[in-house]
Amino acid sequence: MDTLQKTLQSTTIRVVFVAILALLLLIPTGMIKSVIREREMNRDTAIASVISDWGGKQVVVGPILTVPYDVYRTVDGKQIKELAYVHFLPEELTIESTIKPELRSRGIYDAVVYNSDLHFSGNFPQLDFKALGIESYQLHRTEAFVSIGIPDMRGLEERTIFKLGNKDLQFISGIITDDVIRNFTDPQAFYFPEEQTKRIMVEGSVGNSASGLNADVPEAFLYSASNFEFNLKLKGSERLAFIPLGETTDVQINSNWTSPSFDGSFLPDERELSEEGFTSSWHVLDLNRNYPQAWVGDSYNVYDSVFGVSLINPVDGYQKSNRSINYALLIIALTFLIFLSFEIFNRKRVHPVQYILVGLALVLFYTLLVSISEILGFDKAYGIASVATIGLIILYSNTVLQSKRFVAIQGGVLVFLYTFVFILLQLEDYALLIGSTGLFLILASIMYLSRKVDWYTLDKKEMETLDDFYNQ
């Protein structure tokens, strides 16, 4: 029994115990990660609920001028006539957009929604059917129509008129053919594959189906170039995007939102960001995309060229909270190292239960961080949680260690570590470089300070001290 107790008191065994305990504390940190994921899902559900009441992401497609025509094919020796569509895109397309965003709350979560005023103008060229191999007798000239794709029709706030030349055409709801305007899948899910499941959940209920408006086009407008213009008052959430259908497409977006994210196939040629909002403009040529100005059927996918702006809500601490947990082992290990150093050099015991309590306090930091960040934002939450955790450990260490010098070292190390992690969380591109450099310097410092420690002598002295104690 005495031999076992002496073995458990040796320096080597205590170092191994502390290392194992630090690793075991990664189990509750992993559980906290699961809590963060659950809270993210709750947030996404709340946002989806707001979106379902207001309107989803809007990607406006159009206008597209379409003319039905007959095609003939032979099946089992018989000639069959079928209806097909030929599509013509604008020669010039200009879009002017003003976005008026606001936050809508559901519980403690906020969703970014907006009202937008859109003005479209441009012109269609004289239609050349023969260039596409379509003869005059095949055409249904009286059934021509123009289409506008709008993913979520609930966002349409007012009736609108399509002015073609000197004629006002009445829009009606619906898409006659989905050759061009199709079921829409957000390309951002491709750019962020780790969030694809979350995006599908959020967007699954917002109606990204082939929907929009169409208006009949009089036959007279098929034989000459015609100017057009129309307005849309459109509600949506988080994102507004367009398709560059013109030979030249010019888009301008203005908003008072201060956190835009420009995305898609084209970034703005010009943009201005300020505390009052942003202004951005695009100039896209038909040569910049992979589809022509006219084609038959569903030969091309225009959604490959979508571009626009997302209105980012900067008050979202879940990602930073998740990243901060990756440094949990570093903070736990260095905190335990201070206690272990005190044990070795001061010949005073720190009970395993005391190690466990300090470790749990370090782990509890992350639950405080997540819960407070949902209310006050990440930066304030990090400050409150770190001050509370450091204060608790310093007060407890002062009782356990009864050494102002070691308590001061303990507090200084914790302040440095939490500050270091906070700086890393603010960085994006240089986080790995600065993080790895910092960890290297910390390890180098520990190796330098412990370079003259004779660990075998420490174990021997421990055994001699214990022998003297048991022989008394």
- DSSP for 426-460 reads H-STTHHHHHHHHHHHHHHHHHHHTTT--HHHHHH
Identify the DSSP state of 186: -
> Residue 243's closest CA among 207, 201, 286, 276?
286
367 within 8 A of 32, measured Cβ to Cβ: yes
> Residue 278's closest CA among 12, 100, 37?
100
From first to last of its 472 residues, the chain has per-residue pLDDT tens of 444 444 445 566 777 777 777 777 778 888 888 888 887 787 777 777 777 778 788 899 989 999 998 888 777 778 788 888 999 999 999 999 999 988 877 777 777 888 899 999 999 988 888 888 888 888 888 889 999 998 888 888 888 889 988 888 999 988 888 888 876 555 443 333 334 334 433 343 333 457 889 999 888 888 888 899 999 998 888 889 999 999 999 999 999 888 888 888 888 988 888 888 899 999 999 898 899 999 988 888 888 889 999 887 765 677 777 778 877 887 787 777 777 776 666 666 677 777 788 888 888 888 888 888 878 878 888 889 889 988 888 888 777 767 777 778 778 888 888 888 788 777 766 666 666 676 677 667 666 655 555 555 555 555 444 444 334 4
Helix (H) / strand (E) element for 145: namely strand 145-149
Q: Identify any residues that bridge with 78 across adjacent strands, giving them in sequence order.
A: 75
CB atoms within 10 A of CB 398: 16
**pLDDT for the residue numbered 195:** 42
**Domain range summary for the chain, segments of one domain joined by +:** 2-38+318-471, 57-311
Q: C-alpha angle with apex 378: 375 to 380, nearest 5 degrees?
A: 80
> Residue 62's closest CA among 90, 86, 91?
90
**Strand order from edge to edge, sheet including 161-164:** 167-170, 161-164, 226-237, 109-124, 92-106, 248-255, 277-285, 270-274
**pLDDT for the residue numbered 464:** 47
**pLDDT for the residue numbered 203:** 41
137 within 8 A of 103, measured Cβ to Cβ: no
